[in-house]
A and B are shown apart, each in its own frame.
Chain A
């Protein structure tokens, strides 16, 4: 199957700093990528839909100025958590699809803000 690589797999940052998470489709072009957030022992919550070359579509309640998404190419989308706070600590996962119905997930990024 298609491979989606997410980096970094974990990051610890100080409160007030920004963190960038990359999501790459390695062997296919993804016009659309999705960003999810997962709290411990909870489900995946869709944060935003990232479209190549255009602005991301954010879900209700997700602050677009805090979670900056850039989808500059067909193989790369980035999520930047700006001015991170401890409540932003979570597991962030991206997914992308090729022509198949299956969504391919990145490995996820565990963010801890101290």
Chain B
């Protein structure tokens, strides 16, 4: 079955440093979504990427979808303490609607 791998598992940065998490699928995806989960909370939708090579930005967050639609990345510029949480990528295959989640990257930002 489809597997979605995400690295790194943990990242600890100083406030102001950049952060990137990478997501790789074993199969081609129809789309990829990114979620943020704060400790004790539930996943909150950030964005969806659909097109090959697509790049989207949300303020300090930049999302990319690979040309082969099998990998994606989330880059945060100049992290802030409010960026703390676990970032999950989740892929949709062409055949279904259920999301396959990566294991997530837990980001810790210290002032």
Chain A contact residues, CB within 8 Å of chain B: 1, 32, 34, 36, 41-46, 49, 60, 93, 95, 97, 101-108
* B4 CB, nearest partner CB in chain A, Å: 9
* Count class of interface residues, chain B: 20 to 34
Bound state CA distance, A13 and B44, in angstroms?
28
Name the B residues within 8 Å of A103 (CB-CB). 33, 45, 90, 99
Taking CB atoms, residues of chain A closer than 8 Å to B102 are 43
- What is the interface of chain B, defined by CB distance below 8 A to chain A? 1, 31, 33, 41-45, 48, 50, 88, 90, 97-104, 106
Nearest 6 A/B pairs, CB to CB: A43-B103, A102-B45, A105-B42, A44-B101, A43-B101, A101-B48
In contact, B104 and A43 (Cβ under 8 angstroms)? yes
Contacts of B43 in A (CB 8 A): 44, 93, 105
Contact B88 A44 (CB under 8 A): yes
22 chain-A/chain-B pairs, Cβ below 8 angstroms:
A1-B45, A34-B99, A44-B90, A44-B99, A44-B101, A45-B101, A49-B97, A93-B42, A95-B99, A101-B48, A101-B50, A102-B33, A102-B45, A102-B48, A103-B45, A103-B90, A103-B99, A105-B42, A105-B43, A106-B42, A107-B41, A107-B42
Q: Are A108 and B42 in contact (CB under 8 A)?
A: yes
| Chain B residues with CB under 8 A of A95 | 99
Chain B residue at smallest Cβ distance from A36: B101
Across-interface contacts of A1 in B (CB, < 8 A): 45
Complex-state Cα separation, A18 to B3, whole angstroms:
32
Q: A44-B43, A101-B33, A103-B90 are in contact. List 12 more A-B contacts (CB 8 A).
A: A32-B97, A34-B99, A43-B103, A44-B88, A44-B99, A93-B42, A97-B97, A101-B48, A103-B99, A105-B42, A106-B42, A107-B42
Give complex CA distance A60, B2 in Å: 13
Taking the closest CB of chain B, its distance from the CB of A43, in whole angstroms, is 4
> Is the Cβ of A46 less than 8 Å from the Cβ of B42?
no
User: With the chains together, A5 CA to B28 CA distance in Å?
Assistant: 32
